[in-house]
């Protein structure tokens, strides 16, 4: 009987697949490639279940420099996302974006939710006396850290000459029952995004203010403990007005928090006084 010298078809196909796998990242035959952990070739420590992950290098001129926090797992509070369920929100964003594009550069940015937005309402008299002509209000009612991030990343940030940003955020994340640590991570993400994008800016990160119901006070304290650790004495400063907004019994002061959450005119004056200590010291150093 005559036997062909050509290899069987199945053998040829096997050789092609094997060759392709050796050159293709992510192929199942990665197990045989050098440096790729597998059950046959486990990573450090000998545990085949622990994958060796090499972190990406710092982005040149991008988001990760010496001022940013380490890359962490993706969280709801740190993943930039618009509030599409609120029909008014996107048109409001577009209006704010056009306003930012048309304005002259400003010295101070106020970034946050309704408490920041209400500088234009309850706090307007203080704003006019203390910040008019030098500050931009980027507060939007109801915003969480993730929607604030989205706004900043999508046209609401013009900060080439800005010297300060004031960030008050996170209380609406607590309303969503987000984990305390995750809320702190969300605020930190806003802070570090500002630092990354604005060449000369310094950030004042505000402690979350007391609110009702008082069951929130424990979470507020724990989040603020994390935020206080962001203060590096230079590009990030932490400011907590919480003790001034509480009675001797540890309850929110109605004179400053009339509805248990939002600020009175007197409370905005207290906030402005506290901020001016930073701004005035900065001007004296020029």
pLDDT at 113: 98
pLDDT at 185: 97
Q: Which domain holds residue 169?
A: 79-284
Q: Is residue 60 part of a domain?
A: no
Looking at the structure, tell me whether residues 33 and 158 fall in a common domain: no
Looking at the structure, tell me whether residues 226 and 275 fall in a common domain: yes
Across the range 212-241, mean pLDDT stands at 97
Radius of gyration of the chain (CA): 26
First to last CA, the chain: 98
119-170 pLDDT per residue, tens: 999 999 999 999 999 999 999 999 999 999 999 999 888 888 899 999 999 9
Q: For residue 35, name the pLDDT band (cuts at 50, 70, 90).
A: very low
Its pTM stands at: 0.74
Residue 248, pLDDT > 60, answer yes
pLDDT at 234: 95
Looking at the structure, tell me whether residues 42 and 180 fall in a common domain: no
20-31 pLDDT per residue, tens: 443 444 433 333
Q: For residue 276, name the pLDDT band (cuts at 50, 70, 90).
A: very high
Q: Is residue 158 part of a domain?
A: yes
Residue 7, pLDDT > 60, answer no
Active site residues: 114, 259, 262
Q: For residue 281, name the pLDDT band (cuts at 50, 70, 90).
A: confident
Half-sphere exposure of 232 (CA within 13 A, CB side): 14
Q: Is residue 12 part of a domain?
A: no
Looking at the structure, tell me whether residues 201 and 92 fall in a common domain: yes
pLDDT at 3: 43
- The answer to whether the CB of 223 falls within 8 A of the CB of 208 is yes
Q: Is residue 231 part of a domain?
A: yes
Looking at the structure, tell me whether residues 50 and 147 fall in a common domain: no
Looking at the structure, tell me whether residues 197 and 238 fall in a common domain: yes
Q: Is residue 48 part of a domain?
A: yes
Higher model confidence: residue 73 or residue 224?
224
Cα angle 187, 161, 91; round to 5? 60
Q: Is residue 201 part of a domain?
A: yes
Q: Which of 206, 91, 201, 207 is nearest to 157 (CA)?
A: 201
179-203 pLDDT per residue, tens: 999 999 999 999 999 999 998 999 9
Region at 93 (left for phi over 0; alpha for psi -120 to 50; beta for the rest): alpha
- State how far the Cα of 283 lies from the Cα of 187, in Å rounded to an integer: 27
Q: Is residue 67 part of a domain?
A: no
Dihedral angle sign, alpha carbons of residues 233, 173, 64, 140: negative
Looking at the structure, tell me whether residues 247 and 191 fall in a common domain: yes
Q: Which of 140, 133, 138 is nearest to 106 (CA)?
A: 133
Residue 258, pLDDT > 90, answer yes
What's the token pair of residue 215? 């069951």
Higher model confidence: residue 282 or residue 32?
282
pLDDT at 134: 92
- State how far the Cα of 54 lies from the Cα of 217, in Å rounded to an integer: 40
Across the range 239-264, mean pLDDT stands at 96
Looking at the structure, tell me whether residues 155 and 40 fall in a common domain: no
Looking at the structure, tell me whether residues 147 and 220 fall in a common domain: yes
What's the token pair of residue 131? 């910040």
42-97 pLDDT per residue, tens: 333 444 333 333 344 443 333 333 444 444 567 999 999 999 999 999 999 999 99
Q: Is residue 83 part of a domain?
A: yes
Looking at the structure, tell me whether residues 145 and 48 fall in a common domain: no
Looking at the structure, tell me whether residues 41 and 182 fall in a common domain: no
User: CB burial class (10 A; 0-12, 13-18, 19+) of residue 231?
Assistant: middle
Higher model confidence: residue 18 or residue 60?
18
Query: Into how many domains does the chain fold?
Result: 2
Looking at the structure, tell me whether residues 141 and 266 fall in a common domain: yes
């Amino acid at each position: 009987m005559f036997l062909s010298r050509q290899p069987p078809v199945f053998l040829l196909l096997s050789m092609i697949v094997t060759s392709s796998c050796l050159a293709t990242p992510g192929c199942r035959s990665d197990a045989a490639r050098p440096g790729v952990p597998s059950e046959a070739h486990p990573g450090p420590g000998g545990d085949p279940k622990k994958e060796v992950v090499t972190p990406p290098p710092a982005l040149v001129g991008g988001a990760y420099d010496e001022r940013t926090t380490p890359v962490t797992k993706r969280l709801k509070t740190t993943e930039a996302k618009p509030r599409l369920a609120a029909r008014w929100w996107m048109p409001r964003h577009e209006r704010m974006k056009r306003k930012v594009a048309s304005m002259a550069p400003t010295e101070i940015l106020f970034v946050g939710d309704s408490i920041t937005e209400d500088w234009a309402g309850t706090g307007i008299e203080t704003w006019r006396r203390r910040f008019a002509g030098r500050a931009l209000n980027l507060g939007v009612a109801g915003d969480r850290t993730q929607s604030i991030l989205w706004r900043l990343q999508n046209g609401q940030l013009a900060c080439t000459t800005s010297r300060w940003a004031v960030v008050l955020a996170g209380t609406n994340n607590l309303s969503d029952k987000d984990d305390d640590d995750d809320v702190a991570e969300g605020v930190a993400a806003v802070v570090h995004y500002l630092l990354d994008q604005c060449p000369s800016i310094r950030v004042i990160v505000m402690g979350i203010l007391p609110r009702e119901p008082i069951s929130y006070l424990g979470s507020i304290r724990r989040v603020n403990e994390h935020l206080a650790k962001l203060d590096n004495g230079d590009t990030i400063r932490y400011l907590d007005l919480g003790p001034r907004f509480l009675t001797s019994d540890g309850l929110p002061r109605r004179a400053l928090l009339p509805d248990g959450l939002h600020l009175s005119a007197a409370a905005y004056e207290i906030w402005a006084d506290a901020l001016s200590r930073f701004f005035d010291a900065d001007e004296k150093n020029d």
